[in-house]
């Protein structure tokens, strides 16, 4: 099967890289930010929760707006808001100003996350699973590039504020790129946004996919947010070493998504996700026992491969199984995913304050095991549905 790419594919890749940068920049710089603003582990985890709360709200608004006025203006506006929030964060003098900046970043990120996914469906309606995984591979690539660049600059002694200003310039450039791109005509829809939401909520399959994306996103955010701090606490190395941990996880996620895009031509997404969840459970339960950096990096790489497929594959599988407007479906699933993405770091931070961050890492294999159960249930439900139609 030949891969056919357009200019808008490249714009979507860049948009997800900037979205990834806006999310990973705080955990990469977290030890330095915590020293500057004097925050605890739970307050640090709360930063991610605050950002993701606004992403959640923006996702819903973007769904309503896009159905009425189209995707282009809101994807473009999202990049500009990311730029504004990142610049504001670089000038923050206290915790509350920094959290307010993250909320602006969250609004911009919400518009980006809500609309790039259905945009991929508009561009490639016939092979969405493959192209969703290819496009989403650029999210961890953005994490990886950011971790490498910012970790190196921090090691060289540059302020964390400089990192936010660099990211702001990148978001502004992507906003201009989207604004100058030509968007395809989306599939017409006769239902209002509210009627679509009600229809989706009545679908039993929606709640199964929603639960799956919640835990899949939680796994991804747990490693992305806390890996650098984990290295800082337990291995006592320079900032570069913690950034490399994030880069290893992100790089393996990117490789995993390209691999899934290839494997999806030969085997079902359901089987890929079940195998990934089993691998993730086996690997993540060992991670807190890693005794050195090399061992920790190796386990992170396998965890990244295991976690790579969930978000894009769950969206693609939901679009295939639930025959309803994909824009609002993706918005609602992404809302649930963002809740998982935002709550998990905070829960781990609370556990870290009361016990140790290492103890917080044990919720990750639990999430993987829940995913195994959910995918098996979904597989059996789909087989029954197919059998009932025959």
Helix ranges (H only) for the chain are 7-37, 41-69, 72-90, 95-123, 128-136, 138-155, 160-179, 193-201, 204-234, 239-263, 269-284, 293-307, 310-321, 326-354, 357-360, 363-389
The tally of domains found in the chain comes to 1
CATH number at residue 125: 1.20.1250.20
If you compute the radius of gyration of the chain from its CA atoms, what whole number of angstroms results? 20
For residue 66 the two structure tokens come to 């896009």
Determine the average pLDDT of the residues in 89-97.
87
Is residue 314 within 8 A of residue 333, CB to CB? The reply is yes
62 in Cβ contact with 119 (< 8 Å): no
Task: Identify the band that residue 274 occupies on the pLDDT scale cut at 50, 70 and 90.
Answer: very high
The pLDDT score that the predictor gives to residue 342 is 78
- Other CB atoms within a 10 A radius of the CB of residue 355 amount to 11
Categorize the per-residue pLDDT at 283 as very low, low, confident or very high, splitting at 50, 70 and 90: very high
Q: Which residue has the higher pLDDT, 60 or 81?
A: 81
pLDDT of 302 > 90? The answer is: yes
Residue 390's pLDDT is 35
Residue 267 lies in a domain: yes
- Overall pTM > 0.85: no
Q: Which two tokens stand for residue 306?
A: 């295991």
Average pLDDT over every residue of 300-326? 87
pLDDT tens digits along 104-136:
888 888 888 778 888 887 887 777 677 888 888
Q: Answer yes or no: is 187 within a domain.
A: no
The listed range with the strongest mean pLDDT (191-195, 200-204, 256-260, 329-333) is: 256-260
Residue 367, both tokens: 């999430």
Mean pLDDT, the chain, rounded, equals 83
Residue range of the domain that includes 268: 7-182+192-389
Is residue 307 very low, low, confident or very high in pLDDT (cuts 50, 70, 90)? Answer: very high
Helix (H) or strand (E) holding 180: none
Residue 389 has pLDDT above 50, yes or no: no
Examine residue 1 and state whether it is found in any structural domain, yes or no.
no
pLDDT tens figures, 136-165:
889 888 888 887 888 888 888 898 899 999
Classify residue 43: in a domain, yes or no: yes
For residue range 335-349, list pLDDT tens digits in order.
Answer: 888 888 878 888 888
Q: What is the DSSP string of 366-389?
A: HHHHHHHHHHHHHHHHHHHHHHHH
* Tokens found for residue 157: 């002694």
Compute the C-alpha angle 160/164/167, nearest 5°. Answer: 135
């Amino acid at each position: 099967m030949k891969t056919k790419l357009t200019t808008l594919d490249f714009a979507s890749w860049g948009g997800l890289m900037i979205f990834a940068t806006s999310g990973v920049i705080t955990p990469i710089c977290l030890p330095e930010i915590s020293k500057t603003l004097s925050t605890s582990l739970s307050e640090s985890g709360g930063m991610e929760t605050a950002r993701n709360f606004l992403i959640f709200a923006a996702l819903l608004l973007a769904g309503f707006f896009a159905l009425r006025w189209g995707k282009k203006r809101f994807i473009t506006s999202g990049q500009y808001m990311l730029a504004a929030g990142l610049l504001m964060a670089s000038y923050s003098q206290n915790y509350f100003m920094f959290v307010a900046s993250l909320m602006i970043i969250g609004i911009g990120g919400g518009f980006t996350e809500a609309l790039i996914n259905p945009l991929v469906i508009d561009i490639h309606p016939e092979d969405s699973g493959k192209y969703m995984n290819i496009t989403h591979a650029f999210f961890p690539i953005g994490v990886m590039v950011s971790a490498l660049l910012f970790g190196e600059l921090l090691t060289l002694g540059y302020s964390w504020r400089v990192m936010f200003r660099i990211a702001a310039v990148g978001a502004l450039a992507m906003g201009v790129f989207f604004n100058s791109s030509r968007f395809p005509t989306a599939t017409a829809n006769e239902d209002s946004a509210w009627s679509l939401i009600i229809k989706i909520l009545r679908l039993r399959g929606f709640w199964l996919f929603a639960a799956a994306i919640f835990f899949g996103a939680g796994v991804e955010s747990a490693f992305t947010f806390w890996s650098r701090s984990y290295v800082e606490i337990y291995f006592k190395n320079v900032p570069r070493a913690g950034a490399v941990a994030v880069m290893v996880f992100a790089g393996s996620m990117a490789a995993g998504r390209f691999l899934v895009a290839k494997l999806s031509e030969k085997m079902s997404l359901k089987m890929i996700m079940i195998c990934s969840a089993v691998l993730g459970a086996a690997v993540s339960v060992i991670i807190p026992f890693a005794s050195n950096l090399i061992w920790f990096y190796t386990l992170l790489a396998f965890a990244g491969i295991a976690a790579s497929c969930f978000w894009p594959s769950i969206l693609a599988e939901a679009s295939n199984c639930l025959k309803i407007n994909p824009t609002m479906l993706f918005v609602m699933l992404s809302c649930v995913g963002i809740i998982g993405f935002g709550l998990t770091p905070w829960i781990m931070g609370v556990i870290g304050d009361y016990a140790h961050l290492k103890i917080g890492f044990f919720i990750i294999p639990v999430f993987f095991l829940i995913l195994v159960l959910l995918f098996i249930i979904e597989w059996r439900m789909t087989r029954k549905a197919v059998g009932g139609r025959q």
